[in-house]
Amino acid sequence: MSTSPSIYHSISLDIAQRIINGDFPVGGKISGRSLLAGHYNVSPETIRKAVALLKDANVLSVSQGKEIRITSVEQAYYYIEHHKSMHSVYSLKQELELLLQRKQEIDRQLEDVLTNIISYSDRLKNLTPYNPVEIKISSTSHVVGKTITELKLWQNTGATLVAIRRGSEITVSPGPLAVLQGNDQLVVVGQAGFFQRFTDFIQAPAADA
């Protein structure tokens, strides 16, 4: 069964650090693979891979008789620093991928919002050649608590209700069952002269006000 690279990489880094610390002096021999395997509680094959990494980095030398000797403290230091750099690059790549994913999501949300804004603008523009106006409903108005159908807005005022702004929310093309509330901002359009009729109608107080 193959061994995870992270295990023998970790062992190679530990051996390199022990060389730097002086546990294994330059020119000295390291115990055989079997003893190292027992020390790290891994298979001899895992130790062989760890030693091969250090040999390729000129930290160790391995004779034909499989004798392992320390060759360079400096190379052990470079080996560890190189690993840190590679780890940092990998971490930065992961962070970049996450940021790009977030950017794509933000771009998608921005596109949706812009599409909605354009859609709302087009719908308002196509309803009438006149610019829409906003009129606020008084909390004492007779229209509070009533639906658009009950109020017969177009019949009574000649205005078309195209949107209701309630706080930070806006409902475009509200249906006939939409209920008006005090402090709602009504976005309306209509033919010439509608504004005063609509304002008078909306601002009229309730019978018990």
According to CATH, the superfamily of the domain at 133-203 is: Regulator of K+ conductance, C-terminal domain (3.30.70.1450)
Give the per-residue pLDDT at 94.
Answer: 72
Cβ proximity of 156 and 198 under 8 Å: no
Instruction: Provide the percentage of residues in the chain whose pLDDT is more than 90.
Output: 20
Residue 72 sits at the vertex; the CA angle it makes with 66 and 76, to the nearest 5 degrees, is 95
Indicate the pTM of the whole model: 0.39
- Cα–Cα distance for residue pair 183/166, rounded to 1 Å: 8
pLDDT at 209 over 60: no
* Closest-CA residue to 185 (of 202, 165, 169, 171): 165
Q: What is the pLDDT of residue 180?
A: 93
The 3-state secondary structure of the chain reads: CCCCHHHHHHHHHHHHHHHHHCCCCCCCEECCHHHHHHHHCCCHHHHHHHHHHHHHCCCEEECCCCCEEECCHHHHHHHHHHHHHHHHHHHHHHHHHHHHHHHHHHHHHHHHHHHHHHHHHHHHHHHCCCCCEEEECCCCECCCCCEHHHHCHHHHHCEEEEEEEECCEEEECCCCCCECCCCCEEEEEECCCHHHHHHHHHHCECCCC
Q: What is the mean pLDDT of the chain?
A: 81
Closest CA to 137 of 204, 69, 48, 54: 204
More confident residue, 186 or 133: 186
User: What's the token pair of residue 135?
Assistant: 């009129």
Worst-scoring range by mean pLDDT, 109-123, 126-140, 149-163, 182-196? Answer: 109-123
Tell me the mean pLDDT in the region 195-204: 89
* Span of 10-14, 80-84, 153-157 with lowest mean pLDDT: 80-84
**Structure-block tokens of residue 104:** 């794509």
pLDDT digits (tens, 9 = 90+) for 64-105: 777 888 999 999 999 888 887 666 565 667 777 888 888 888
Distance CA 73, CA 113 (A): 60
Residue 125 has pLDDT above 60, yes or no: no
183 pLDDT exceeds 70? yes
Q: Tell me the percentage of the chain whose pLDDT exceeds 70.
A: 83
Tell which residue, 143, 125, 145, has the closest CA to residue 198: 143
Q: What is the pLDDT of residues 50-75, one digit of tens each?
A: 899 999 999 999 887 778 889 999 99
Whole-angstrom Cα distance, residue 5 to residue 52? Answer: 12
**What count of other Cβ atoms lies within 10 Å of the Cβ of residue 194?**
19
Please report the pLDDT score of residue 57 as a whole number.
Answer: 92
pLDDT reported for residue 89:
60
Domain boundaries, the chain: 5-78, 133-203
Least confident of 12-16, 92-96, 155-159, 168-172: 92-96
Residue 137 in tokens: 């409903």
Provide the CATH topology of domain 5-78: Arc Repressor Mutant, subunit A (1.10.10)
pLDDT attached to residue 114: 62
